[in-house]
């Protein structure tokens, strides 16, 4: 029974799963391929970052980023991955109740699995033996399903409030980038409440 459900879901959602998964795998590989350079030139990076306005550094979440460590660089990269996951989960949530989108949302869970495997694979390929705390990395990865469920729920709420959803993409993009902007303002203004609202 479960196998039949999985096959049915896979047939319906395989294009979405493959598109999001391959895109995120590419994002991890491309971003993490620059890690050795960032780590070797950490002092140069720190000097360059010191020349930027502190508000700009805080807005982009780089005020406590150490590019010379695996988890420091990974945390910076994860911000962009979260934007993609927020768009995907919001897209699913908004489309869940609309006429155009009636399928279930197994694809974002499958994509989260691919993201986790890609993260560990990218670190194994490009960390060059630099140490990191596997427990902290695991905690970071465990936040991703909760992060996606937040945007899925937000998208579902929007789909219930909006009478007719013709295209789910603008809503998903608005939610993801809106949350990012709120998070940036929260960091700059020191408003923890704003950062909590965004769940970023």
Over residues 43-81, the pLDDT tens digits come to 787 777 777 777 777 766 677 777 788 888 888 888 888
Separation of alpha carbons 3 and 37, rounded Å: 45
Separation of alpha carbons 85 and 200, rounded Å: 11
- 164 burial (CB, 10 Å; 0-12 / 13-18 / 19+) is exposed
126 has a pLDDT exceeding 60:
yes
Contacts 24+ apart (CB under 8 A), 55-58: 55/188, 58/184, 58/187, 58/188
Residue 99: per-residue pLDDT: 41
Over residues 149-177, the pLDDT tens digits come to 888 788 778 777 777 767 767 777 777 77
Task: Say if residues 9 and 106 touch (Cβ distance below 8 Å).
Answer: yes
Separation of alpha carbons 131 and 41, rounded Å: 17
Separation of alpha carbons 129 and 107, rounded Å: 33
Task: Say if residues 133 and 123 touch (Cβ distance below 8 Å).
Answer: no
Contacts of 28 (CB under 8 A, 6+ apart): 77, 81, 115, 118, 119, 121, 122
Residue 89: per-residue pLDDT: 78
Q: What is the DSSP string of 57-77?
A: HHHTT-TT--TTSHHHHHHHH
Tally of structural domains, the chain: 1
Q: Identify which of 19, 112, 132, 142 has the alpha carbon closest to the alpha carbon of residue 71.
A: 132
Percentage with pLDDT > 90 across the chain: 0
Cα 101–Cα 92–Cα 151 angle in degrees, nearest 5: 150
11 has a pLDDT exceeding 70:
yes
Per the structure, the complete domain to which residue 189 belongs is given by: 2-198
- Tokens 């109740």, residue? 97
Residue 194: per-residue pLDDT: 47
* Six token digits for residue 140: 């970071």
């Amino acid at each position: 029974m479960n196998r039949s459900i999985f096959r049915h879901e896979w047939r319906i959602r395989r294009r979405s799963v493959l598109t999001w998964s391959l895109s995120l795998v590419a994002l991890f590989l491309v971003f993490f391929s620059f890690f050795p350079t960032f780590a070797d030139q950490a002092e140069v990076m720190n000097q360059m970052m010191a020349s930027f306005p502190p508000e700009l550094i805080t807005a982009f979440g780089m005020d406590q980023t150490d590019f010379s460590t695996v988890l420091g660089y990974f945390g910076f990269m994860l911000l962009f991955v979260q934007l993609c996951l927020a768009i995907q989960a919001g897209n699913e949530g908004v489309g869940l109740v609309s006429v155009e989108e009636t399928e279930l949302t197994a694809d974002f869970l499958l994509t989260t699995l691919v993201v986790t495997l890609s993260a560990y694979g990218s670190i194994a390929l490009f960390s060059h033996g630099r140490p990191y705390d596997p427990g902290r990395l695991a905690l970071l990865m465990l936040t991703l399903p909760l992060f996606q469920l937040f945007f899925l729920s937000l998208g579902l709420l929007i789909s219930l409030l909006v009478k007719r959803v013709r295209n789910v993409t603008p809503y998903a993009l608005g939610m993801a980038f809106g949350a990012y902007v709120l998070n940036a303002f929260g960091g700059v203004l020191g408003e923890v409440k704003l950062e909590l609202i965004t769940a970023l």
